[in-house]
Structure 1
Amino acid sequence: MNQQGYIIEIVDNKTAKLKMQRHSACASCGKCQTLSSESKEILVEVDNSIGAKPGDHVEVNMENMNVLKATALAYAVPLIFLLVGTIVSYFMLDMIISTQGIIVELISGIIGIMLMLLSYVILKKNDSKFRDSRKFIPVITKIIE
């Protein structure tokens, strides 16, 4: 997925902040920060291994497979935790508690939500590991004249 934008800040010798237009496929995963609520412009951390400077108009690329992996981590993992937690706890509670009713469904729903929240905590805790791998951030491919 190729995008273009302007370098506005150099974070360190291999990372920069890029101002670009939000892509329609981007949605709002939360990995970038928007400049305002109405604006389609976003700030994204990018790999600056080619040495672009502030003000440079650059092209960035992120492999489609990495975009899909990042999307799966952000959306599919919490959904799986929610569904598995709710379904497994429902059947386990149904065997333990003899009365059929809303209690079993309510408790299993709460367990599913708690496991989904746990998945977000796990993802947030590992966020620095994902960032250090530099696998899920766009890479500047060229400086556009």
Structure 2
Amino acid sequence: MKIEEGTILSIEEDGLAEVKVGRHSDCMACGACPGAEHIVVKALNPIGAEVGQHVKFEVREVNIVIGAFVCFIMPLIVAGLGAVAGHWIGLSQGMDAMQAAIVGGIVGFLIGVVGVKLFDRSLTNDINAKPKIIEVCR
């Protein structure tokens, strides 16, 4: 488990807390996101922390790895498979194999993007995938 810290901005009706997270070591090393200083996550609040409190919360590392794979690698793999399928379909139908591979790659990439969106929606409803507040910092 990875432990992060942040400040609770609000508590929603369903008991989830919106936590503003400061930049941590992973964000500082990457620097790709200009808004990394203003990240807000929704976390389970089993300890009853209140708005304005500085809290520690845990994030399951397996969720980070799976999410990174689905967001960055899976669309590229599906695009590659689409390109190969397009190439073979183009050859079997007597079309230009290169153009068919390009079209297949684009279609595969779009399917991959839809897969990312579906994965994101599935995580929205998965309580076990959400960060969990474990401690109020004094």
In the superposition, the TM-score normalised over structure 1's length comes to 0.78
Within 2, Cα distance between the matches of 1:39 and 1:69? 20
Judged with a 3 Å threshold, the aligned counterparts in structure 2 of structure 1 residues 75 and 11 are, in CA distance, closer, same or farther, namely same
Judged with a 3 Å threshold, the aligned counterparts in structure 2 of structure 1 residues 73 and 28 are, in CA distance, closer, same or farther, namely farther
Contact 1:70 1:136 in 2 (8 A): no
Contact 1:5 1:21 in 2 (8 A): yes
Shifted more, 128-137 versus 73-82: the winner is: 128-137
Unaligned stretches of 5+ in structure 1? none
Give the alignment partner of residue 132 of structure 2, picking from 121, 135, 139.
Answer: 139
Q: CA deviation at 1:106?
A: 2.5
Q: CA deviation at 1:38?
A: 5.4
Partner of 2:17, secondary structure, is strand
Instruction: Quote the residue 2:89 is aligned against.
Output: 92
Instruction: Quote the residue 2:107 is aligned against.
Output: 114
Within 2, Cα distance between the matches of 1:67 and 1:137? 11
In the superposition, the TM-score normalised over structure 2's length comes to 0.81
Tell me the C-alpha RMSD between the 2 structures: 2.5
Instruction: Quote the residue 1:20 is aligned against.
Output: 21
Contact 2:5 2:57 in 1 (8 A): yes
Instruction: Quote the residue 1:11 is aligned against.
Output: 12
Within 1, Cα distance between the matches of 2:25 and 2:54? 21
Written as runs of structure 1 = structure 2, the 5 A alignment for 1:41-80 is 41-80=38-77
Instruction: Quote the residue 1:83 is aligned against.
Output: 80
Contact 1:66 1:135 in 2 (8 A): no
Unaligned stretches of 5+ in structure 2? none
Within 2, Cα distance between the matches of 1:43 and 1:116? 29
Written as runs of structure 1 = structure 2, the 5 A alignment for 1:27-46 is 37=34, 40-46=37-43
Within 2, Cα distance between the matches of 1:53 and 1:3? 17
Within 2, Cα distance between the matches of 1:28 and 1:136? 25
Number of aligned residue pairs: 135
Q: CA deviation at 1:39?
A: 5.8
Partner of 2:107, secondary structure, is helix
